[in-house]
């Protein structure tokens, strides 16, 4: 509807309507709270999360050329999930918690980790699907992800 009356460029200005109030609210509501003792970096946790998400993304990328039952595909997915579980354990036992100022219990740390992984996964999946759609990967005929308009009718055997 916006592009009927204005050009498509005006669709980009919709972000300004959201961004300006968000910046003003952040300037008024957020304060700089410096802890008495600055926590260190959780290098093992960050490494486990990064490697786990990489293995999961690699496993999904290998599913199309190798198949879902290939050992490399399944192995990458399984190792990725295990590494994400390890990172939850590391987050619950880390001396330098990323939940500074909160009552950090193992349950709170695990919930924060799961929420973070879920957001990161869907963000990465969205970027992958947008890139695949733009590059035409999903448009090849005969693939499981072909669009309805590109699908070929099944042969009828009498």
Q: Are 63 and 73 within 8 A, CB to CB?
A: yes
Q: What is the pLDDT of residue 123?
A: 84
Based on its alpha-carbon atoms, the radius of gyration of the chain, rounded to whole angstroms, reads 23
pLDDT in tens, the chain (158 residues): 666 777 777 777 778 888 899 999 989 888 877 767 766 777 888 889 889 989 998 998 888 888 889 999 999 999 999 998 898 888 777 765 554 555 667 777 777 778 888 888 888 888 877 777 666 655 555 555 544 454 455 555 54
Six-digit token pair at 128?
Answer: 């992958």
Q: What is the pLDDT of residue 12?
A: 74
Q: What is the pLDDT of residue 118?
A: 85
Q: What is the pLDDT of residue 55?
A: 93
Of 78, 124, 132, nearest to 69 by C-alpha is 78
Alpha carbons 113 and 107: distance in angstroms, whole number: 10
Q: What is the pLDDT of residue 97?
A: 54
Q: What is the pLDDT of residue 96?
A: 58
Q: What is the pLDDT of residue 20?
A: 92
Angle at the Cα of 54 from the Cα atoms of 76 and 126, rounded to 5 degrees: 110
């Amino acid at each position: 509807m916006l592009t009927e009356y204005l050009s498509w460029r005006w669709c980009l200005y919709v972000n300004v309507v959201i961004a300006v109030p968000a910046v003003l609210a952040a300037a008024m509501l957020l304060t700089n709270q410096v802890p008495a003792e600055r926590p260190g970096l959780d290098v093992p946790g960050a490494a486990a999360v990064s490697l786990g998400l990489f293995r999961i993304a690699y496993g999904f990328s290998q599913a199309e050329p190798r198949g879902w039952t290939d050992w490399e595909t399944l192995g990458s997915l399984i190792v990725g999930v295990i590494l994400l579980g390890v990172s939850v354990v590391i987050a619950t036992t880390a001396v330098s918690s990323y939940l500074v100022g909160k009552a950090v219990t193992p349950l709170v740390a695990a919930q924060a980790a799961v929420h973070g992984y879920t957001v990161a996964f869907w963000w990465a999946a969205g970027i992958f699907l947008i890139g695949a759609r733009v590059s035409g990967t999903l448009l090849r005929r005969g693939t499981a992800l072909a669009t309805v308009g590109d699908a070929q009718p099944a042969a009828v055997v009498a």
